[in-house]
Amino acid sequence: MQQLLDDVLAGHRLTESEAAGLMKVRGREVFSIAAAADALREEKVGNLVTYVRNQNIHITNICKNLCGFCSFGKRVGDPEAFCNDREATIEKVMQAVERNVTEVCLLSGVHPDYTLESYVDLIGCVHEVAPQVDIHTASPDEIAWAAKQSGVSTEEAIDRLREAGLGTLQGTAAEILVDEVRQVICPRKCDTATWVRIVKEAHRKGIRSTATIMYGSAESVEDRVRHLSVLREIQDETGGFTELVPLSYLHENTALYRRGLAPAGATGREDILLFAVARLFLDNFDHIQISWGKVGPKMAQIGLLAGGDDLGGTMFCDDVSVTAGGEGADYLDPAEMERIAVDIGRQLVQRTTTYGRV
C-alpha cells in the first residue's frame, strides 16, 4: 500500500481496482492514505482553505422523484408541501443580497408541473434582483425534465437558462452514477448516460459545474469508485468541473433506511477514505470540498487533513439536510470556519463559485 501511495505522489494514475482497495483499508493505514492525500492537496493548492459566501433558497419541496434517500420531497397536496411564488422568491433573494453573498443556490424539488419556462422565469427574476451574484442551479435531472416538458433539446434548454441568468450548473442528482444503484435509490431520476451527456453539453458551452457523489446508502465501494471514474473521464474531456463535493448520506428520516435498503450512513472511516481516495484518484480535479452540513464541523476539519481544501458555503439554510436528520446543517459562520482552518495551520480565504478570490 505504501508503495502505491508513493507511486501516486510521483504521478501514477490510480486504477479503479487500486482505488477500491484503498477504500477498503482498515486500521491505522487509514491515516497513511489520509496523509498521502493531504500531501497531494498541499502540492496542488497550497495551505489555503476556501469557502463561498452563498445562500440556499428553497423554491418548492414538491417533487416528481420522491427518492428513497430524501425526506425533503413531497407530493402535491401533502400537508407539508410548499411552492414559493415570485414575490416570496424575490424576498429571499433580497435577503441574500443584504448578506453580501456572491452566490445564490436555488434548490428545489423537481416539480411535476414545471416546464422550461418555469425555470427561465425563476432564474430571470433572481437575476433581475441580484445581477451581480452567481446563480448556481439546475441539476442535469431538472434540465432533462424541463426540456422534455417543453419539447426542446437539452442543449436548447441550457442555452435558454443561460440567457435568463444561469451562472453555474449544480452537479447534483448524480448520487451514484451506476444505474443498478440508481434503480434502488432514485429510480425516477435520469439515468447515468443522460446525466453525463447534459453535464458535457453545459461544459462545452463554457458553463462550469460542481461534481457530487452521495455515498453511504445502497452502493458498494466499487460503485463509489466507478462513479469517481465517470467524473474523471468527463473532466479529462471537458475540464468543466470546479470541484468534487462528497455528500455523506444522512439516513435518519429516509424511506431507504426505514425499509432496510440502506445502512445508517457512512462511518467515520468511510468518510475519511472517501475524501482521501477521491483526492488521490481525481488527479484532474484541483478542489475537494468537505461538506460540513453532512459530516459536522469536527469531521469537516478532519476532512481538511485528508485531502480536502474547501469548506463549501455559508448556506444560511439547508432544509434538505435538516429534514433528513442533519442537525445544525443550515449555517456555519466564517469566523468558525477560520477557527477550524487556523487550528490545523491553514489560512481561510473567501472565494467565488469558480474559485476566484474575493
Q: Binding-site residues for [4Fe-4S] cluster, please?
A: 63, 67, 70
The answer to the question of residue 52 being in a domain is yes
Q: What is the pLDDT of residue 106?
A: 95
Q: Binding-site residues for S-adenosyl-L-methionine, please?
A: 69, 175
List, in order, residues 6 or more apart from 48 with CB less than 8 Å away. Answer: 309, 346, 347, 348, 349
- What is the spatial distance between Cα 298 and Cα 339, in angstroms, rounded to a whole number? 11
Q: Binding-site residues for (3R)-3-methyl-D-ornithine, please?
A: 139, 291
Query: The CATH number of the domain where 76 resides is what?
Result: 3.20.20.70
Q: Which of 120, 91, 123 is nearest to 106 (CA)?
A: 123
Residue 61 Cα distances to 74, 83, 299, 351, angstroms: 6, 7, 29, 29
Q: What is the pLDDT of residue 329?
A: 56
Q: What is the pLDDT of residue 323?
A: 58
Q: Binding-site residues, please?
A: 63, 67, 69-70, 139, 175, 291
The answer to the question of residue 274 being in a domain is yes
Q: What is the pLDDT of residue 325?
A: 52
CB 242 within 8 A of CB 206: no
pLDDT digits (tens, 9 = 90+) for 31-57: 999 999 999 999 999 999 999 999 999
The answer to the question of residue 358 being in a domain is no
Give the structural domain span for 333.
Answer: 2-351
Q: What is the pLDDT of residue 316?
A: 87
The answer to the question of residue 141 being in a domain is yes
Q: What is the pLDDT of residue 204?
A: 98
How many CB atoms are located within 10 Å of the residue 290 CB?
A: 28
Q: What is the pLDDT of residue 165?
A: 98
The answer to the question of residue 357 being in a domain is no
The answer to the question of residue 97 being in a domain is yes
Alpha helices by DSSP H, listed for 219-291, are 221-238, 255-258, 268-281
Residue ranges of the chain whose pLDDT lies below 50: 326
Residue 259 Cα distances to 187, 255, 270, 311, angstroms: 15, 6, 22, 33
What total of structural domains would you count in the chain? 1
The answer to the question of residue 356 being in a domain is no
